[in-house]
Amino acid sequence: MKRRYTLIYWREGRWYVGRLKERPDVFSQGESLSELEENIKDALMMMEEIEAGEVPEGHQTKEIIIEA
């Protein structure tokens, strides 16, 4: 299934940095705009796998405690 997202991006030094308007928790960076687009797609896929309860191949999990 194809979905459309809006990439909000800006320059920080030599990096393009961006996030998805519809999913502000998904962000990435790249040395070019096309690299940023590929990296943001990868980040979205990883977030969806994690939200579905899957751990991406090659990744590990560890419980941590964070005081708020």
Tens digit of pLDDT for each residue in 10-50? 999 999 999 999 999 999 999 999 999 999 999 999 888 88
**Domains along the chain with CATH numbers:** 1-68 (3.30.160)
Place of tokens 């687009």: 37
**Between residues 50 and 4, which one has the greater pLDDT?**
4
Q: Contacts from 37-41 at CB under 8 Å and sequence distance 24+?
A: 37/7, 40/7
Indicate if the pLDDT at residue 56 is higher than 80: no
Confidence of residue 51 (pLDDT cuts 50, 70, 90): confident
What tokens appear for 25 in the block?
């928790």
Whole-number pLDDT of residue 66: 80
